[in-house]
Structures are given as structure tokens and as C-alpha cells.
């Protein structure tokens, strides 16, 4: 039977049987995901990210943005490690580059991190219909003709 010193026996009698029970537990590993935006200006909405691993225990989606990373605590990782992939919800206002968050090799006792890089897509606002374009072209030609006559 183990004593209070956790299987540390200072003396034992000849022929005496001493048993000791050891329990090995694994601390959870933190996988952090960061967000970086390129292009455009203004605040962007948080992006929903998800995690897929070969094994281990983790749960739920996370919402991240530049300056507010988040992640998962993964429990019960195989001693040889596991492969994980982080993906994000696709939206039409950015182009995602998730290569840094693919094929993450997570080992017991060692955290991991990655960065999702998004390029903002700025959509052009259609200001003129076809009649407005015709008028704009006509005005530019007229201003050009007036300028040519004046400086000739």
C-alpha cells in the first residue's frame, strides 16, 4: 500500500511486499488561432473557426478577429501526437489563406498556434447606369474639345 510520500518507502523488512499505485494524467494542450487582415479599412466582423483533429477531446466553434485570438484545449492526445486542421467560415467579403493552420502536429505537453490570413475584397459600387456613363463620356469629350480650342 502506498504511503503519504507517494510510493517513497524508506525502509522495508526482508520478504515484505510493498505495492505502489501510480496514476499518470495528461494536462490539456492549448491550440491558439490568430487572425490577420490585409487590405481595406474599417472593422471586420468576427470569423467563426472550427477545429478537426485525428483524435483527442475538444469541442465547439470559436470566434476570432485581429487582436482577439482564441483557441481550444485538447485533452487525451495520443502519445505520438495528432494532426489537426483549423478552418474558417467562408464569406464573400474576404479571401482566406488557411495554409498556416493546416497539418498542425500537436504533441502531448506542447502547445501549438497558427495564423489565419484574410485579404479583404473591396467591391466596386456601381454608380452609373448605361445612360449615366454616356453622359459622363460626353461631358469629358466636350471639356476636352473646349480645352483644345482654348489652347490652340
Weakest mean pLDDT among 28-32, 73-77, 123-127: 123-127
| Sequence ranges of the domains in the chain | 29-120
Residue range 29-120 forms a domain whose CATH class is mainly beta
Measure Cα distances from 131 to 74, 125, 126, 143 in Å: 60, 16, 13, 18
Question: 29 near 104, Cβ under 8 Å?
Answer: no
Mean predicted confidence (pLDDT) in 111-136: 78
pLDDT of residue 1: 46
pTM of the complete model = 0.67
pLDDT of residue 9: 67
Give the pLDDT band (50/70/90) at residue 90: confident
Amino acid at each position: 500500500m502506498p504511503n503519504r510520500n507517494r510510493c517513497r518507502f524508506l525502509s522495508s523488512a526482508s520478504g515484505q511486499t510493498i505495492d505502489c499505485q501510480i496514476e499518470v494524467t495528461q494536462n490539456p494542450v492549448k491550440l491558439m488561432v490568430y487572425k490577420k487582415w490585409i487590405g481595406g479599412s474599417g472593422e471586420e466582423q468576427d470569423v467563426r473557426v472550427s477545429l478537426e483533429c485525428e483524435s483527442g477531446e475538444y469541442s465547439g466553434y470559436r470566434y476570432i478577429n485581429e487582436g482577439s485570438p482564441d483557441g481550444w484545449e485538447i485533452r487525451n492526445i495520443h502519445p505520438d501526437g495528432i494532426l489537426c486542421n483549423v478552418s474558417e467560415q467562408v464569406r464573400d467579403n474576404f479571401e482566406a489563406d488557411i495554409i498556416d493552420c493546416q497539418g498542425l502536429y500537436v504533441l502531448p505537453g506542447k502547445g501549438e498556434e497558427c495564423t489565419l490570413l484574410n485579404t479583404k475584397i473591396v467591391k466596386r459600387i456601381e454608380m452609373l447606369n448605361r445612360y449615366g456613363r454616356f453622359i459622363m463620356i460626353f461631358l469629358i469629350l466636350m471639356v476636352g474639345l473646349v480645352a483644345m480650342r482654348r489652347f490652340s
